[in-house]
Structure 1
Amino acid sequence: MVMTIDYLQWLDLQPKGSVLYVSMGSFLSVSAAQMDEIVAGVQDSGVRYLWVSRGDSSRFEHSCGDQGLVIPWCDQLRVLCHSSVGGFWTHCGWNSTLEAVYAGVPTLTFPILWDQIPNKLVRRFMDFKSNEQTEIREMARKFRETFRIAIAKGGSSDANVDAFIKDISERHAH
């Protein structure tokens, strides 16, 4: 359904870990034919999805049904941290990668630099009964914990920023 529905309310109505969040970034460099194939693949997979489509979303209008929601923008970090999101199909931008790690959400990567055929992977990627997915989700949770420790007060990122500021301050004092 393509409309101005509150996407967070829609996510609240979905089962835990059941939604594939799809975002291909601000600048999509695939052809219309490729996009049609991607859309068809996600829709044919039968999984629930929240898709951020910054361009022409007309290809979604009649085919989302109850399984999907297409929106022009969202607060990506809030979406990734939402309990109903079980996976993230990403274009591998740096911010998206960091936010996915922070949220502990497994990612299905689609770098959009060369031709790939990921459509058949969507169903497997979102299969909670799969041992492979259990392992992937556990690794994502471990990355999340490591990331959060690093950015916490006294963590390695915090210490590195403090050391950087101290170094600059000392250089300007001379």
Structure 2
Amino acid sequence: MDEIAAGLRVGGIRFIWVARGESSRLKQSCGDMGLVVPWCEQLKVLCHCSVGAFWTHCGWNSTLEAVFAGVPMLTFPLFLDQVPNSSQIVEDWRIGKRVREVQRDQILMTRKEVAETVQRFMDLESGDGKEMRKRAKELGDLCHQAIAKGGSSDKNLDGFISDITKAAAIKRTDVPF
């Protein structure tokens, strides 16, 4: 974590870092470039217009929030479902890049590697970056359409509630006593 903090500081990109148990210790390592907090409303932060990317461990809830916000991701999976979630983000949806490939259970990076990775990813003029950001925004727009009135999630939730209500009404009439 210290190398990541130093790399982010050296990379020259402003950031907010949620580090639950480590926030007070990491504040010093991050310097003036970063804001380190023990907690935040992640979805609100990701939806803010100043957020250019999300460094994520690729937990499913975090992944869904970043997709909803239309934010590209730097993936840093550690274990379990995070690895296939990272593959989905990078290979299938093409809205992110892996921070580093895991090699023989090694996920350590130097501050120089972190700085270079973040700088390349945040280069708004790169063609690859532009395409990735465009796809991330398109996926976010699809999410917003789905939850809007008349969208697929709105219709499916209404249908689900209707089905449950009908099933409950049938059961009440079938009770013999």
TM-score (normalised: structure 1): 0.73
Could you tell me which residue of structure 2 aligns to residue 56 of structure 1?
Answer: 22
Alignment of 1:19-34 (within 5 A): none
Is the counterpart of residue 109 in structure 1 residue 105 in structure 2? no
Q: Distance in 2 between matches of 1:60 and 1:145?
A: 35
Q: Distance in 2 between matches of 1:112 and 1:123?
A: 22
Bigger relative contact order, structure 1 or 2 (CA pairs below 8 A, ≥6 apart): 1
Q: Distance in 1 between matches of 2:9 and 2:78?
A: 19
Which of 7, 13, 24 is matched with 1:47 structurally? 13
Q: Which amino acid aligns with 2:146?
A: A
Is the counterpart of residue 167 in structure 1 residue 163 in structure 2? yes
TM-score (normalised: structure 2): 0.72
Moved over 3 A (4+): 114-118
Number of aligned residue pairs: give it.
140
Q: Show structure 2 runs of 5+ residues with no match.
A: 80-101, 171-177
Which of 119, 122, 141 is matched with 2:118 structurally? 122
Alignment of 1:85-96 (within 5 A): 85-96=51-62
Q: Show structure 1 runs of 5+ residues with no match.
A: 1-34
Q: How far is 1:88 from its partner? A: 0.5
Could you tell me which residue of structure 2 aligns to residue 131 of structure 1?
Answer: 127
Question: How has the CA–CA distance of structure 1 residues 36 and 65 changed in structure 2, closer, same or farther, with 3 Å as cutoff?
Answer: closer
Could you tell me which residue of structure 1 aligns to residue 142 of structure 2?
Answer: 146
Q: Which amino acid aligns with 1:125?
A: F
Is the counterpart of residue 80 in structure 1 residue 76 in structure 2? no
- Alpha-carbon deviations, 1:61-101, whole Å to 9, x = none? 33323211111111111211111110001111222112111
Q: How far is 1:108 from its partner? A: 1.0
Choose between structure 1 and 2: higher helix proportion. 2
Q: Distance in 2 between matches of 1:162 and 1:81?
A: 26
Q: Distance in 1 between matches of 2:60 and 2:149?
A: 23
Q: Residue 40 of structure 2: SS of its match in structure 1?
A: coil
Could you tell me the percent identity over the aligned residues?
58
**Given that residues 36 and 59 in structure 1 are in contact (C-alpha distance below 8 angstroms), is that contact kept between their aligned partners in structure 2?**
no
Q: How far is 1:57 from its partner? A: 2.7
**Given that residues 9 and 31 in structure 2 are in contact (C-alpha distance below 8 angstroms), is that contact kept between their aligned partners in structure 1?**
no
